[in-house]
Structure 1
């Protein structure tokens, strides 16, 4: 019998097969990435829907929307201007099996019972609360839900209105807005819906512009290189503090009027020689967020005050009526500013 000799692939044939596989992978990868992003975006929208429902359930029980947090200490203890709410009796209270004073915590803490997180809300140890990574507080397009060096984060911020006054621990102080905004007065400091904890909270019937026209919560603007990770707790002023107790600052709330100026280098780290960019405080993609470094290339902590996100085309939001919407990055500045005020009597509205 004659033996049949099998021929092997030649080198050229093998290279052709590899090239075909590479082309197919190149064609499929963008489609896979689009499907993955669509799923992440939908999950992010669902998180905001749950947050919006929690706000409404809180308001049904308490009569007002939850508070935005503040700096300081309980009455009778020495005051502090920065950078969170502290109870000097915390250790003693916790050791006795009692929660410390958390009056200055932000809305993220107060809605916990309405998102099935009673165990975190009722935890005695402050460290347990700080370390709790609440899944619906994270956008899956940006990062996984995890704690960093003992403190978790949140990718969604409340709407504080037109302009922002950082800190302001005293009950009658308006403070200064900074970052190029006009001087803050008591009137325009408090025209949002998530207000600092030592002023009167907002009831839904005080939203005179209409709940369907007023922003409640949206994704916060954060450069991909400034996102807190397991290796770094975050050097962006809007992502460097614990999720539930950052005082009254950009970790908790953002605003939507005026302009913002910062060093910009086309999405790359911006050193001292970079161009100063001035933009309206409309939502922006994360890659355009501030990422400032010093002459040695080390990160410089910055605080930006506007909304934005990691999704292509727009930012995910929930409005005061509970509706979840994607607002495009091309939204008109005046229209967005109108959406961020609850009592501006504007005729502009966001329909997308």
Structure 2
């Protein structure tokens, strides 16, 4: 009996040492929880790094497309290309032509392996996206070569090419969904320089804008970027140097909220000294005091801006085929990820800085094809200073520091956006 008791005690003792106490188990769980907590942000950061690299690669391809286009046609793709006719207004919705309102990305299609899509646009199209014949509207079927005006919906009947989602135009970090509101979105835009482009304000949408038409006279003074609205630029025009001039940049697209970067405010003072051209930071007055990344809703202690409806193409980057600055353009006035607003309403020019879903800044493509990351904190000088060569309603031009030929008032950021201001960029950006 004594020997049996000793054996039983020994076996029981060994079993006790093979288990975990409650305290030990809780410690292990706590350690695992801490490790998971440390690991998840690292995984998220790694995923964003991969998305950011993919986005950078998209932009490299677009930069290469610009150079290949220039090699083929001895000019940059035109922001505002297409077909028109004498006497047509900018808001004319005729399907016989597209009002010279195609973005530079349309011309770049064959150079980003979208030859088939380009051929659809370049030729008449007899059917719409539903397989039915296009409606008559203001012009007979079929859709014309180079397509109709991309800013119009044609009574709900879609034009296939403008509705086509192109992976090369989308940043993987941007969660904005495809389709409505908008058409086929883009996260990339062309650089229009450091001025508020006013070509639509003084009459081109009421007057002729054919060869030598009024739009050239009105917008010539505000044409300071690598790209201009309806201007044909060449590399030789970029006097400041291809490596010192921004050609393309990122823009975020809407998530259906009040994001100041993706849903522009309306009626920002118009084309006057008291409007955005005279004070680019004017629209800050409508930001939410509680969440300054968003517009005020009027119930947070701030003043709500006037906004367009949420069910139409009124958002940033809503259509890669459309040349309007809100959709495919940006300026180097306000630094990245600042607020956006129209001088008046949809399709008008306004204040449109670049933006992205990458933490801390945006990618840009320099005119030489190099991709760089610009931080939100880049030196942008005095963002309340009026733009150079502001054109008044009487078509007169300002004198002094805002006259044509002056350096950008927006420091390094402004200088990067101008192609011929003859400013020396002596520091890394």
| 1:338 match | 415
Superposed CA RMSD in Å reads 3.9
Asked whether the 8 Å contact 2:339–2:352 carries over to 1, the reply is no
Q: Is the 8 A contact 1:153 1:239 kept in 2?
A: no
Structure 1, residues 93-127: CA drift from partner, whole Å, max 9, x if none? xxxxxxx6574210111100000011222223562
Quick check: 1:311 aligned with 2:358?
yes
The answer for the alignment partner of 2:63 in structure 1 is 52
Aligned to 2:376: 329
Q: In structure 2, the residue corresponding to 1:122 is in which secondary structure?
A: helix
1:194 aligns with 2:227: yes
Instruction: Pick the aligned partner of 1:283 from 335, 338, 347.
Output: 335
Residues 140-199 of structure 1: CA distance to partner in whole angstroms, max 9, x if unpaired?
111377434671111111111121225624535569xxxxxxxx96444111122122xx
Asked if the contact 2:247/2:367 (under 8 Å) is kept, the reply is yes
2:187 counterpart of 1:155: yes
Q: Give 3-state SS (helix, strand or coil) of 2:249's partner.
A: strand
Q: Which runs of 5+ in 1 are unaligned?
A: 90-99, 176-183, 242-255, 292-301
Shift in Å, 1:9: 6.6
Q: Which residue of 1 aligns with 2:95?
A: 88
CA distance 1:235–1:194, shift in 2 (3 Å): farther
TM-score of the pair, normalised by structure 1 = 0.69
Structural mapping, 1:249-260, within 5 Å: 259-260=280-281
Describe the shift of the 1:121–1:239 C-alpha distance in structure 2 as closer, same or farther (beyond 3 A): farther
Question: How many residues get paired?
Answer: 292
CA shift for structure 1 position 268 = 4.4
* Partner Cα separation in structure 2 for residue 350 and residue 310 of structure 1: 26
Corresponding position of 2:43 = 32
Q: Flag the 1:349–1:337 CA change in 2: closer, same or farther, 3 A.
A: farther
Q: What is the aligned partner in structure 2 of residue 245 from structure 1?
A: none
CA distance in 2, matches of 1:24, 1:258: 50
Contact 2:162 2:183 (8 Å CA) reproduced: yes
Residues 122, 212 of structure 1: alpha-carbon distance in 2 compared, 3 angstrom cutoff: same
**Structure 2: how far apart are the matches of 1:268 and 1:240?**
9
Q: Which residue of the partner structure matches residue 217 of structure 1?
A: 248
Deviation at 1:13, TM superposition (A): 5.3
State the secondary structure of the residue aligned to 1:75.
coil
Residue 312 of structure 1 deviates from its aligned partner by 2.3
Quote the offset at 1:81 in angstroms: 3.3
Q: Distance in 2 between matches of 1:237 and 1:81?
A: 26
Inter-CA distance 162–268: structure 2 relative to 1 (3 Å threshold): closer
Q: CA deviation at 1:131?
A: 1.8
